[in-house]
Chains A and B, each alone.
Chain A
Amino acid sequence: MNSGILEVSGLEKHFGGVYVTCNVNFSMQEGEQSAIIGPNGAGKSTFMNLLTGYHRPDAGKVVFAGRDITGMPPHRVVRCGISRAFQVSSIFGRMTVGDNVRAAVQAQMRVTFRLFASARRLGAEETERVLALCGLLAKRDLMAGELAQGDKKRLELAIALAGRPRLLFLDEPTAGMSIEEARSTMELVDRLNRELKLTVLFTEHDMGIVFNHARRLTLLHRGAIVVQGTPEEVRANATAQKVYLGEHHL
C-alpha cells in the first residue's frame, strides 16, 4: 500500500486516568472523503484536536504529506495545508462576514505582518471566490455575530476553506442546520472533494448524511477504533451494530 496523505500510528491521549484515544492507527489517501462516527464521548473531537495540534498526543505519530506534524502547534499544522471547521461555529463575531473570510485568506497568505499594506486589496480575489463558493456573497457586509445559525456554520466552512487546504476536517458540519441547508452544505463538500480533490474527513451524527457522503467510515468507541471500512462493511459489522448503529435502526 502506498503511503497516504495522512498517516496516524499508535496515537494515544489520556486526560488524568481516562484514555480518550487508545492506540489509534488511521490513514487517508489523497482525494478521499471519509467520516468518523461513534457515540457521544467516543473521542471524535479529541481525535481531530490531536490531528490539528490543539492537544498534544501522549504517544504516537501523525504524518501529513510525508511530514511529521506530531505535537506541532495549530498555527503550524494549518500552514502545512490542514484546515478545520468546528462543531460549535467558531467565527469572528464583531467582524463582517467578508472581513472574516478575508482575514482567513490573509492569514493563509502569511501577509499578516505587513503593517502598512491595505487589508482591502490583499487576497480580494480569493475572498470573493470563497464567499461565492459558500453562497455568502449577499451577506458579506453583515456582522458575523448577527447571522442565523445555519449561516454561521456556512461561514465556519468558508473560513476553513480560505487559502485552499489539502486536507479538511469538519466536525459535525451540518449541526444546527435545516434539512435544506444541510443538504446544500454536503453537496458543496462533495463538490470540493470531487472537483478540487480536497481530502475531507468529517464527523456526523446524522447517519443518512454519513452513508450518503462518506466513502469510508471509521467507528470510534471509547477512544479506540472498532471497525473501519466501506459503509456496507461497517453496516454489516456486528460490533458496529451493537455499539452504535443499532441506536439508529438502520
Chain B
Amino acid sequence: MTANAKGAGPLARLYTAFGISGPVALLLLAAALGVPWLPGEFWTHVGTEVLILGLFAMSFNLLYGYMGQISFGHAAFFGVGAYATAMLFTVLKPADGQIGVVDFLLSLLVGPPVAALAALVVGFFCVRLTGIYFAILTLAFGELLFYIVFSWYSFTKGDDGIQGLLPPPFFQDSTNFYFFTLAIVVTAAALMWRITESPFGYALRTLRDNQRRAAFLGTNVRVHMLANFVIAGSFAGVAGALWGPFSRSVNPGLLGWGESGIAVFMTLIGGGGSFIGPMVGSVIYTLLQAVVKMYTVYWPLTIGTIILLIVLFAPGGVLGLIDQRIRGARSAERVGREEDEAAAAAAERQP
C-alpha cells in the first residue's frame, strides 16, 4: 500500500488535494478519452449512456450526499428536461428533413431551464419536510409529473412518446456525439464541483449534518434547500436534454420512479460520500447492464443482488470502501513514521 501510494505520485497528490474524487476523476477521464477506440460502435454507445446517466446521478447526489435528503422523484427533472428538448426539437425540425445544428443546440439549451422551473415548483413544497417525508413527497410529485406526461396526449403524445429525434448529420456519428456528450458532462461536473466547494456547498453540508444548528448559524434552511433543489433539478435537466437525441426518442418512463431509482442505485454503488462516486456507480451499473443483458434476462435479479451486497458490506459504496482503506493506510504510515522517529531519537540518546 505504501509502495503503491509512492509509486502513483501524481495520483497521491491529487488525493491529498481533492480527496478520493481527484485521482478517480483523472482516471475516469483518461479512460473516457479512449472509449471510441474500442472495437465496434457498441462501446461508444454504452460510454455515452454512462456519461448521461452518471451526470443525472451526480445531480441527485447534490441532494443526497451534500444536503442529506433522499429524493425518489429526481427523474421528474431528468424527464422534464428530456421532454422540453424533444418538444422544441420536433417543432424546429422541418417536416421533411434534418434539424439544423443551431436549432439542435437551441433545443438542447431549453431542457435545463424548464427542468429548473419544475424543480422550483416541486421544491417549494418538498423543502418544508426532511427525511422520509421529503423522500415520499418527492416520490409523489415525480409520479404526478409522470402521470401528467403520460395522460396529456394532445401535448406530450402520452405513452407513445416522441420519436424521430435524429440529431444533425455531424452528431449522428456515434463518436462525435460521444465527445460532444463528454464535453458537456465534464463542463457540468466542473460547475457542480465549483458549487460543492463554495460557501454554499459547505452550508449544504451543515444542513446535512445538523439542520437545527445550521439555523443558529444564521442560515435560512429552507431557502438554501430550495436553491439546491433547483440546482440539482437543472443538472438533471442537462442530462435529460442529452437523452432524447442520444436515444432518438423520449417516453414518459423517463420521469417515473424506476428512472429515479437508477440515480439512487448508481449513487449507492459508487458512493454518495464523494463527488465522483455516482459517476463510478454509473460506470459499474451501465457496463454491467450492457454485459449481463447479452447473456441473461435476469438483469433485475443481478442488480438487486449487487445493491444488497453493497448496502450490507460497503454502505459507503465502492469509493467509500477504497477511501477508507487509503485513510487507514495513510494513518498507519504516519503512526509507523512517528514510531520510527521516536525509536531513532531514543537511539541517539543512548551513549
A residues sitting closer than 8 Å to B (CB atoms) are 52, 54, 73-75, 78-79, 83-84, 86, 90-95, 99, 102-104, 106-120, 122, 159, 162-163
Contact = CB atoms under 8 A, between A and B. Distances in A.
Given A99-B205, A106-B202, A107-B206, A115 B215 contact: no
3 closest A-B pairs by CB: A107-B217, A92-B209, A112-B203
A27 B206 CA distance: 33
A107 B218 contact: yes
7 contacts: A75-B219, A92-B209, A95-B202, A102-B202, A103-B206, A112-B219, A115-B231
Given A99-B202, A113-B227, A119-B202, A79 B218 contact: yes
B213 A75 contact: no
Contact of A119 (B198, B221, B227): B198
Given A90-B212, A114-B198, A107 B205 contact: no
Contact of A75 (B195, B220, B227, B231): B220
A122 B208 CA distance: 21
Interface string B175-197: 00000000000000000001101
Contacts, number: 99
Contacts of B218: 75, 78-79, 107-108, 110, 163
Given A78-B216, A92-B210, A114 B199 contact: yes
Nearest to B195: A115
Contacts of A159: 213, 217
Contact of A107 (B198, B210, B219): B219
B201 interface: yes
Contacts of A113: 199-200, 227
A223 B212 CA distance: 24
B81 to A, nearest CB: 20
B224 interface: yes
Nearest to B209: A92
Main secondary structure of the interface of B (DSSP, over half): helix
Contact of B210 (A78, A84, A90): A90
A103 B200 contact: no
A218 B224 CA distance: 38
Given A112-B200, A112-B203, A122-B199, A74 B216 contact: yes
B67 to A, nearest CB: 12
Contacts of A106: 199, 202-203
A74 B224 contact: no
A108 B217 contact: yes
Contacts of A78: 215-218
A112 B210 CA distance: 16
A99 B203 CA distance: 10
A84 B217 CA distance: 9
B199 A116 contact: no
Contacts of A120: 197
Given A94-B205, A112-B219, A119 B213 contact: no
Contacts of B221: 75
Nearest to A102: B202
Given A106-B202, A107-B217, 8 more contacts: A75-B216, A75-B220, A79-B218, A84-B216, A95-B202, A106-B199, A112-B224, A116-B194
